[in-house]
Amino acid sequence: MRNQRKTFKPGDLIHVPANVTLLKFRGPPGDPERDLQMSEMNERSAFRKGPPIAVKVNEKPKHALVVAYDQTTRRYEIAVEGSTWSVHQEDCYTLET
């Protein structure tokens, strides 16, 4: 069965293929520390301003846990390799069954 894209919710396990760019921001949407940082900068917490603090390319396909979804940027926050990264919704697929 071929992997398919769909809408995911927090707690879902997903497949992230190889050669996908992962971004790390100050924190995921809904993170109180991130919301505080954004409000101190007089920014709306729904929007990410500025560059990511880290960028990496997924060398091998991985399974990840969805932590949050930012509808404004259309990016999922995922837990992978013990850290939280941001990935575009177009790069997320269901796990094969």
pLDDT in tens, 71-90: 877 889 899 988 889 999 99
The greatest distance separating any two alpha carbons of the chain, rounded to the nearest whole angstrom, comes to 48
Burial of 97 (0-12, 13-18, 19+ CB in 10 A): exposed
For 12, residues 6+ apart whose C-beta sits below 8 A from its C-beta are: 65, 66
Q: Is the pLDDT of residue 95 over 80?
A: yes
pTM over 0.75? The answer is no
pLDDT reported for residue 21 = 93
Which tens digit of pLDDT belongs to each residue from 12-59?
999 999 999 998 876 555 565 655 554 544 444 444 445 678 899 999
Around 72, how many Cα atoms within 13 Å sit in the side-chain half-sphere? 8
